[in-house]
Amino acid sequence: MKIDNDFFMKLAIDEAWKYQLLTYPNPAVGCVVVKNDSEILAIEAHKEAGGAHAEVNALKEAYLKYHPNTILKTIKDSFKIHEYLIKNHNGFFNDCTIYVTLEPCNHVGKTPSCANLIKQLKPKKVIIAHKDLNNVAKDGQKTLEEVGIKCELGCMQKEAYDLLFPFIKWNSNSFIFYKMAQTLNGTIDGGKISSNQALAYVHALRDKIDLLMIGGNSVRIDKPTLDARFVAGRAPEVLIYSKNKVFEPSIALFKIPNRKVTISDDLFKLLDYKFVMIEGGYTLLEKLKEKIDYIMLIISPKIKVGLNAINESLDLEFEIIHENYVGPDKIVYLKRIK
Amino acid sequence: MKIDNDFFMKLAIDEAWKYQLLTYPNPAVGCVVVKNDSEILAIEAHKEAGGAHAEVNALKEAYLKYHPNTILKTIKDSFKIHEYLIKNHNGFFNDCTIYVTLEPCNHVGKTPSCANLIKQLKPKKVIIAHKDLNNVAKDGQKTLEEVGIKCELGCMQKEAYDLLFPFIKWNSNSFIFYKMAQTLNGTIDGGKISSNQALAYVHALRDKIDLLMIGGNSVRIDKPTLDARFVAGRAPEVLIYSKNKVFEPSIALFKIPNRKVTISDDLFKLLDYKFVMIEGGYTLLEKLKEKIDYIMLIISPKIKVGLNAINESLDLEFEIIHENYVGPDKIVYLKRIK
């Protein structure tokens, strides 16, 4: 197996995907620091909005690998990590290459500018998978090159674009993803399909999204709560997609305090929200396929008889964008290509 | 992300899985060489029976990383690689750790003993995932420890066992795996499901197996050829599982020269063969589930209406043992747990 730039960038991309969507409204970003040509010092990611950027997490871990007993270990605040590294690096990063899935940010916001930090640490090279298109944060590469740091743009760009895509949509209009849980053979009924770990993951997503949309039939049949109790999170606003506006008020989802629920069959409403999750089965998928950016398929490793796509006229093709595990289940991210 | 022994061993295991089953009758083995604590020099695997062992491929690549223009680059023969490394290593491996998924072999067969090679290269440490249970090749660790090389056994042992399992079965009785191709929602009909790359992979497997078993109905309906033409390989012996012994002789599979075809409903016949692939759908899977070691599920990223598990009484649960990609499709290796 070739141990090259693609290999290291793939480690950064995979690490970033672990936090995909959970960093909203920030992009999922991964960073790998390699000393000399192939000594991996750190594989890190941006984990949540407001927290340290991927580069900062990775540079901190890289430094700690050679200086394990320094006070840096206890510092969590981004500004203070920057300050510590700038003061103490002592040329440590001069023989390092930094692999980052997105161009280092060039502005000071909730956290300081990564381009400015890297500029002062003077690594041998910075390899960037995808350009930052954001008007405020862009041009980090220029900042680095101005002080003579060698940069390379475009390593695994396609994979980095797929990783960045939700962020691009958040910044332009809406990112809409469809979450579906099924068995290996596509069965979607039969009580609890997914593992507790997968359910907790879905709850963590519900805690982040601006809107959860669900079909009227699912509400009538499953009587769901649609909250984020497994992660002690916020119950998201709900849009019930239904022509028929009449629902039993005893259904659990209506009883969450301070939650807004709308019943509507106007899909344009989705565009009022930046980050939308749709939970549903095959019928709703067929109806909404044109509106969906990604499908998140949670697959439980079982084969069993049950409700499947058999009553629809589905004929969809996808590219597999990424996959993770969550407990014993798989998560597959799909982009429709037909 | 922690960059520890598990991280490096996982790289070795994943690399080995790329050649899983294709190394028959040898085990799939992976090896990673790390200089100092985290400089990855090589990630290699055993690729086919008769070819160099994983350790030899990895040690060669590792040496070449620092000595790129030596004659070693052109040497393919295992005995000669051993000889070159023993003569020229000059202490190069003394600060290296070798991660290997299976205890280095302790005997000279078609290729020389890996334990003997490593013994002479004197690495800092050898980390072994799984003990070699083979009476002829075992005790490599002892050979290394006798000359003072530090060994550690058991890193990612469970994953290494899953990797080694076909080999264990080949050595004791038979390894039987069930190959099924489907869409994301479990549809198994509708003409060509899998990509050409996936078909070529299946043909590469057919070229290796001792027996291909298929159900009588599949033969009658699909009229398959069941050869290995995509890889210019050998057409395997076929067992048609059927009570009814009458088949149209014009069906393509009967027309392959020098191929043995048996028609039988006696499952004990499977045990006469060490390496058996069964190709089929849900009906046959339900019937044979107790006899199957692994399922190899080739999943094409499509959702479409079609034949599914709906007419069976299937209720199976699996552990996902491993996954690969083959072209746009996924390969998932499953072990039944219910």
Identify whether B55 is a catalytic site residue.
yes
B224 and B304 belong to one structural domain = yes
Q: What is the pLDDT of residues B110-149, one digit of tens each?
A: 889 999 999 999 999 999 999 998 888 889 999 999 999 9
B196 close contact with A: CB closer than 8 A: no
Does the structure show a pLDDT above 90 at A33?
Answer: yes
Query: Cβ distance A215 to A242 under 8 Å?
Result: yes
pLDDT range class, residue A242, cuts 50, 70, 90:
very high
Count of domains in chain A? 2
User: Which residues in chain A have Cβ-Cβ distances shorter than 8 Å to B282?
Assistant: 185, 303
B163 and B184 belong to one structural domain = no
Chain B interface test: which of A5, A34, A61, A303 (most B C-beta within 10 Å): A303
B191 and B143 belong to one structural domain = no
Chain A 231-270, residues with CB within 8 Å of chain B CB atoms: none
Rg (CA), chain B: 22
- Output the six-digit token pair for A207: 């805690």
Instruction: State how far residue B111 is from chain A, nearest Cα, in angstroms.
Output: 22
pLDDT at B307: 77
Q: Which residues of A3-16 are buried (b: 16+ CB within 10 A; e: fewer)?
A: bebbbbbbbbbbbb
Does the structure show a pLDDT above 80 at A97?
Answer: yes
Quick one: angle between helices A54-66 and A114-121, nearest 10?
A: 30
Predicted complex ipTM: 0.90
Domain of A106: which CATH number?
A: 3.40.140.10
Q: What is the pLDDT of residues B29-62, one digit of tens each?
A: 999 999 998 899 999 999 999 899 999 999 999 9
Query: Cβ distance B78 to B105 under 8 Å?
Result: no
Please give the Cα distance from B295 to B280 (Å, whole number): 11
Query: Cβ distance B33 to B12 under 8 Å?
Result: no
Please give the Cα distance from A192 to B243 (Å, whole number): 39
B20 and B151 belong to one structural domain = yes
Does the structure show a pLDDT above 90 at B20?
Answer: yes
B96 close contact with A: CB closer than 8 A: no
Locate all alpha helices (DSSP H) within chain A, ordered by sequence.
5-17, 54-66, 78-88, 114-121, 140-146, 157-172, 196-208, 216-222, 282-288
Please give the Cα distance from B12 to B101 (Å, whole number): 7
- Dump the DSSP string for B165-182: HHHHHHHHS-EEEEEEEE
pLDDT range class, residue A190, cuts 50, 70, 90:
low
pLDDT at B137: 81
Does the structure show a pLDDT above 70 at A191?
Answer: no
Question: Which of helix, strand or coil describes residue A304?
Answer: strand
Last residue within a domain, chosen from A171, A195, A214: A171
Last residue within a domain, chosen from B146, B171, B196: B171
Which of B305, B315, B316 comes nearest A314 by C-beta? Answer: B305
Please give the Cα distance from B54 to B113 (Å, whole number): 12
Please give the Cα distance from A59 to A249 (Å, whole number): 53
Mean pLDDT value across residues A35-45: 94
Contact partners, residue B172, CB within 8 Å, separation at least 6: none
B154 close contact with A: CB closer than 8 A: no
Instruction: State how far residue B247 is from chain A, nearest Cα, in angstroms.
Output: 31
Closest residue in chain A to residue B317, using alpha carbons only: A302
With CB atoms and an 8 Å threshold, state whether B319 touches A297: no
Query: What percent of chain B stands above pLDDT 70?
Result: 99
A266 and A187 belong to one structural domain = yes
- Dump the DSSP string for A135-175: TTT--HHHHHHHTT-EEEE-TTHHHHHHHHHHHHHHHHS-E
Locate all alpha helices (DSSP H) within chain B, ordered by sequence.
5-17, 54-66, 78-88, 114-121, 140-146, 157-172, 196-208, 216-222, 282-288
- Catalytic residue of the set B15, B44, B55, B103: B55
B132 close contact with A: CB closer than 8 A: no
With CB atoms and an 8 Å threshold, state whether B301 touches A285: no
- Output the six-digit token pair for B24: 């028959």
| Segments forming the whole domain that contains residue A271 | 174-336
Mean pLDDT value across residues B166-180: 96
Query: Cβ distance A65 to A114 under 8 Å?
Result: no
CA distances from residue A46 to A24, A53, A150, A157, B270 in whole angstroms, order as listed: 11, 5, 23, 18, 52
With CB atoms and an 8 Å threshold, state whether B308 touches A185: yes
Please give the Cα distance from B186 to B69 (Å, whole number): 51
Contact partners, residue B317, CB within 8 Å, separation at least 6: A301, A302, B336, B337, B338
A320 close contact with B: CB closer than 8 A: yes
B132 and B167 belong to one structural domain = yes
A191 close contact with B: CB closer than 8 A: no
User: Which residues in chain A have Cβ-Cβ distances shorter than 8 Å to B318?
Assistant: 184, 301-303
Q: Which helix (H) or strand (E) holds A300?
A: strand A294-300
Q: What is the pLDDT of residues A272-320, one digit of tens each?
A: 999 999 999 888 999 999 999 999 999 999 998 887 776 678 889 999 9
Mean pLDDT value across residues A113-124: 96
A158 and A224 belong to one structural domain = no
Beta strands at A315-326 and B302-304: parallel, antiparallel or unpaired:
antiparallel
User: Which residues in chain B have Cβ-Cβ distances shorter than 8 Å to A184?
Assistant: 186, 297, 318, 332, 334
Mean pLDDT value across residues B265-274: 94
Sheet with B211-215, side-by-side order of all strands: A302-304, B315-326, B329-336, B294-300, B175-183, B275-279, B211-215, B238-241, B261-264
B93 and B50 belong to one structural domain = yes
B212 and B294 belong to one structural domain = yes
Query: Cβ distance B97 to B123 under 8 Å?
Result: yes
Q: What is the pLDDT of residues A57-72, one digit of tens each?
A: 999 999 999 999 999 9
A187 and A57 belong to one structural domain = no
- Output the six-digit token pair for B156: 């990612």
Output phi, psi for B35, to 5 deg. Answer: -90, 145
Closest residue in chain B to residue A44, using alpha carbons only: B1
Domain of A188: which CATH number?
A: 3.40.430.10
Output phi, psi for B308, to 5 deg. Answer: -140, -165
Last residue within a domain, chosen from A171, A202, A231: A171
Please give the Cα distance from A52 to B232 (Å, whole number): 54
Please give the Cα distance from A85 to A63 (Å, whole number): 8
- Output the six-digit token pair for A58: 């990775």
Which of A312, A323, A332 comes nearest B305 by C-beta? Answer: A312
Closest residue in chain A to residue B330, using alpha carbons only: A320
In terms of C-beta density within 10 A (0-12 exposed, 13-18 middle, 19 or more buried), how is residue B124 classed?
middle
With CB atoms and an 8 Å threshold, state whether A305 touches B318: no
Instruction: State how far residue A249 is from chain B, nearest Cα, in angstroms.
Output: 34
With CB atoms and an 8 Å threshold, state whether B184 touches A314: no
B154 and B192 belong to one structural domain = no
**Interface contacts A/B by beta carbons within 8 Å:** 133
End-to-end CA distance of chain B: 33
B68 and B146 belong to one structural domain = yes
Which of B3, B301, B325 comes nearest A318 by C-beta? Answer: B301
CA distances from residue A146 to A151, A292, B134, B260, B320 in whole angstroms, order as listed: 11, 41, 61, 71, 49
Q: What is the 3-state secondary structure (H, E, C) of A184-225?
A: CCCCCCCCCCCCHHHHHHHHHHHHHCCEEEEEHHHHHHHCCC
